[in-house]
A and B are shown apart, each in its own frame.
Chain A
């Protein structure tokens, strides 16, 4: 495809998207606070202040690199997905699996010939690398307990809880 045609296609796509995108694709409509309970086994849930981070981030793609109804900016994805339709799912967990090392996930990558999605972080990795990476860069709080409060099982795991020794 010539680059001119590419541009035309993109323009049409963008125009279509403006009409087609559901209202929740705008940050203003996203919930102000998002409850994340991925680590509930050892930690209490995290109340992620989405609205506050919208104010700080220059653009949605800083975090939502793949999913804000624009063409992907993530290098690894763009190799194949540059021409893809803009993706509607916005939540991280729609792409990042909470159990990336399960037998099913490993078998799936195997089935795809280990050619695609082989190094896509799981949900926990995606959250932490994205959040912590930025927090470190910006000098924001970055200790484990700045975001996570351990529950009873967590206290025990870390050797602080009900003394069993």
Chain B
């Protein structure tokens, strides 16, 4: 498969799309697919993170990413803002970043690590018509650059804006993102590099079911400390990476307007009806974002990354 050329792909493009959609439709026919029961996950307890950026450093080393301009112990990165005021995001040079938030109620700053959340039913996967993505039984959402044609549909479809685009090679553009350290660690029963280095054990690695139980127990033991919600337990059909927090999630750049159902279940019926031409995919997947929002999200609350992140 590795040798498939872009031209050959385009020749067979339309047929490929039709097949892919048919397959996806089948695999999503089961209502309330709960993910793989033996799947692993990470529970991020934001009350424990101290913003040391060790996880960023460990990730950089593990994946052989380029060394950033500022060393990982330089905390001035927390003040960096993009063109429209957004905080740092994961991209092709960094699969994870930690950002700092000042709670509106005052009090100590909160640090939040961002990376791919490894959705139970990933929108990136369903949006990709060459099947470059796989949700493994261990819980990781991995990506095969060999078949990617660089259409960037997954970047538009991801509700968390995770996949990055590598421009390093014009002839072989690839999407890059956190892979849960799947190939080197997860399959060997090892925790991801970020989890392993975290001094505070702010990142808990285990079976997703166990992590949900731990999250609930922590919230129950300290109801005054925690917000009564595990972010990612149900959002977009559930994610392998989940968060608990002492501050409202919307203040920490989380999109709290996301629906509980997997993003794809809104559109599958619709997709089956429309003629599948390559040209309409971009428009479709731009629409996915809107579909993913709950009604409340459209009443002018702009909790998008421009503000929070």
CB within 8 Å of B: which A74-128 residues: 75-76, 100-103, 106, 109-110, 114, 118-119, 121-122, 124-125, 128
Residues in A whose Cβ lies below 8 Å from that of B190: 101-103
Which of B189, B201, B205 is the one whose CB lies under 8 Å from A124?
B201
Q: Is the CB of A129 within 8 A of B201?
A: yes
Total number of A-B contacts with CB less than 8 angstroms?
Answer: 73
Within the complex, what minimum Cβ distance (angstroms) separates B65 from chain A?
11
Q: Is the CB of A114 within 8 A of B72?
A: no
Separation of A125 and B221 alpha carbons in the complex (Å):
19
Does any Cβ of B come within 8 Å of A52's Cβ? no
Does any Cβ of A come within 8 Å of B195's Cβ? yes
Q: Is the CB of B196 within 8 A of A101?
A: yes
Which of A118, A125, A129, A157 is the one whose CB lies under 8 Å from B214?
A118
Q: How many A residues, CB 8 Å from partner?
A: 27
Does any Cβ of A come within 8 Å of B18's Cβ? no
Within the complex, what minimum Cβ distance (angstroms) separates A40 from chain B?
13
Q: Is the CB of B73 within 8 A of A118?
A: no
Which of B61, B198, B206, B209 is the one whose CB lies under 8 Å from A157?
B61
Q: Is the CB of B206 within 8 A of A106?
A: yes
Within the complex, what minimum Cβ distance (angstroms) separates A132 from chain B?
7
Separation of A129 and B52 alpha carbons in the complex (Å):
14
Does any Cβ of A come within 8 Å of B25's Cβ? no
Q: Is the CB of B200 within 8 A of A101?
A: no
Q: Is the CB of A132 within 8 A of B200?
A: yes
Residues in B whose Cβ lies below 8 Å from that of A145: 73
Does any Cβ of A come within 8 Å of B48's Cβ? yes
Separation of A159 and B65 alpha carbons in the complex (Å):
11
Q: Is the CB of B200 within 8 A of A125?
A: yes
Residue ID in chain B nearest A132 by CB atoms = B50
What are 8 residue pairs bridging A and B, where the CB atoms are less than 8 Å apart in the complex?
A103-B189, A109-B206, A114-B213, A124-B199, A129-B201, A132-B50, A157-B72, A158-B71
